[in-house]
Amino acid sequence: MRMVVEQQTGQKQRAGKRVGRPPKAVKKDQLLAFKCSLLERKMIETKAKSAQLSVSEYIREMALNGKINRGNRTLPKEILRFTATLNHLAANLNQVAKKRNRYEVLSFMERADLQVQSEEIKALAQQIKQILFNGPE
The total domain count for the chain is: 2
Q: What is the pLDDT of residue 46?
A: 93
Print the domain residue range for 58.
Answer: 36-73
Same domain, 60 and 82: no
Which residue, among 75, 77, 47, has the nearest Cα to 61 in the 3D structure?
Answer: 47
Q: What is the pLDDT of residue 2?
A: 41
Same domain, 44 and 83: no
Residue 41 within a domain: yes
Q: What is the pLDDT of residue 97?
A: 79
CA atoms of 131 and 72, how far apart (whole Å): 18
Mean pLDDT, contiguous 10-residue spans, the chain (137 residues): 45 63 84 93 92 89 86 68 82 80 81 83 81 67
Q: What is the pLDDT of residue 93?
A: 81
Residue 100 within a domain: yes
Q: Is 134 buried (19+), middle (13-18) or exposed (0-12) by CB count in 10 A? A: exposed
Residue 31 within a domain: no
Q: What is the pLDDT of residue 6?
A: 46
Same domain, 125 and 87: yes
Same domain, 63 and 84: no
